[in-house]
């Protein structure tokens, strides 16, 4: 009767287990190195799609925050210009109380107000710029400053709302993408042990057919 040595099933099982632990070890190492749970679509395709959507929303929200912040800065700058014009008009009012016809200082203040007002490129008040129009100019400047104040308040509220949205979106993104360092460290340690054990088992399984063959020589 012919003698048959069957396929080394033990070695096949050991090799498969070794490959599995090697892949798991590589995944854990990749996650620990990058800080990301998903490093490619094969890790979690649906999770990656959701995270990409969140990332897009985060980027858009950050742009909106910058735009609103820029609007606040512009309004603050223009309001500062108008604050200086207000001081100049108040000084003119003081001078005109004693010198109704005005003097060299009032002439210089009118010229200065015209120069400053030209810096306000949007929402600037219309100044008459004469000795007799101080009260009207003060009213016009006050109205313009109120508008800038309203803009600052509205944009500040918008920024606060957008920042909350950005935090929530970032948290959602983080829950999907961030690595659980404790879990991945445990997985890496476990699969390192499995690799060592699997290598030893595979070596033992491969040795068995050689032992049988040596008996047949």
Quote the CA–CA distance of 146 and 123 in Å, as a whole number: 11
Quote the CA–CA distance of 72 and 112 in Å, as a whole number: 25
pLDDT at 14: 65
Tell me the average pLDDT across 141-160.
97
Torsions phi, psi for 4 (to 5 deg) = -125, 130
* Beta bridge partners of residue 2, listed in sequence order: none
Contact 109, 92 (CB under 8 A): yes
- Report percent pLDDT > 70 for the chain: 82
Contact 208, 8 (CB under 8 A): yes
What residues contact residue 115 under an 8 Å CB cut-off, 6+ apart? none
Smallest CA-to-CA distance from 36 within 25, 48, 46, 24 is with 48
pLDDT at 1: 44
* Beta bridge partners of residue 178, listed in sequence order: 36
Looking up tokens 């476990």 gives 190
pLDDT at 196 over 50: yes
pLDDT at 34: 73
pLDDT at 151: 97
Smallest CA-to-CA distance from 116 within 153, 141, 133, 150 is with 141
pLDDT at 78 over 90: yes
Task: Give 152's pLDDT tier (boundaries 50, 70, 90).
Answer: very high
172 by Cβ neighbours in 10 Å (0-12 / 13-18 / 19+) ranks as: middle
Q: Write out pLDDT tens, residues 11-60.
A: 676 667 667 767 776 776 777 777 778 887 888 899 999 999 999 999 99
Task: Compare 3 and 170 and report the one with higher pLDDT.
Answer: 170
Task: Give 210's pLDDT tier (boundaries 50, 70, 90).
Answer: low
DSSP-based three-state secondary structure for 36 = strand
What residues contact residue 98 under an 8 Å CB cut-off, 6+ apart? none
pLDDT at 217 over 70: no
pLDDT at 215 over 50: no
pTM of the predicted protein model: 0.70
pLDDT at 161 over 60: yes
Task: Give 216's pLDDT tier (boundaries 50, 70, 90).
Answer: very low
* Beta bridge partners of residue 36, listed in sequence order: 178
Quote the CA–CA distance of 70 and 46 in Å, as a whole number: 37
pLDDT at 183: 76
Mean pLDDT of the chain: 85
């Amino acid at each position: 009767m012919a003698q048959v040595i069957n396929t080394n099933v033990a070695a096949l099982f050991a090799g498969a287990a070794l490959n599995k632990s090697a892949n798991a070890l590589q995944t854990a190492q990749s996650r620990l190195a990058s800080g990301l749970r998903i490093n490619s679509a094969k890790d979690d395709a649906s999770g990656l799609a959701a995270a990409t959507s969140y990332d897009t929303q985060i980027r858009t929200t950050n742009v909106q925050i910058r735009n609103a912040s820029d609007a606040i800065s512009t309004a603050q700058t223009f309001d500062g210009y108008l604050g200086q014009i207000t001081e100049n008009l108040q000084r003119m009012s003081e001078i005109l109380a004693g010198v109704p016809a005005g003097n060299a200082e009032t002439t210089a203040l009118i010229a200065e107000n015209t120069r400053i007002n030209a810096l306000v490129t949007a929402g600037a008040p219309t100044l008459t710029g004469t000795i007799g129009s101080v009260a009207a100019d003060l009213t016009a400047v006050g109205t313009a400053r109120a508008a800038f104040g309203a803009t600052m308040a509205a944009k500040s509220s918008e920024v606060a709302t957008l920042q909350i949205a950005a935090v929530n979106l970032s948290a959602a993104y983080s829950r999907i993408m961030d690595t659980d360092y404790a879990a991945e460290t445990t997985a890496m340690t476990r699969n390192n042990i499995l690799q060592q054990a699997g290598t030893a088992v595979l070596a033992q399984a491969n040795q068995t057919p050689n032992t049988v063959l040596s008996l047949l020589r």
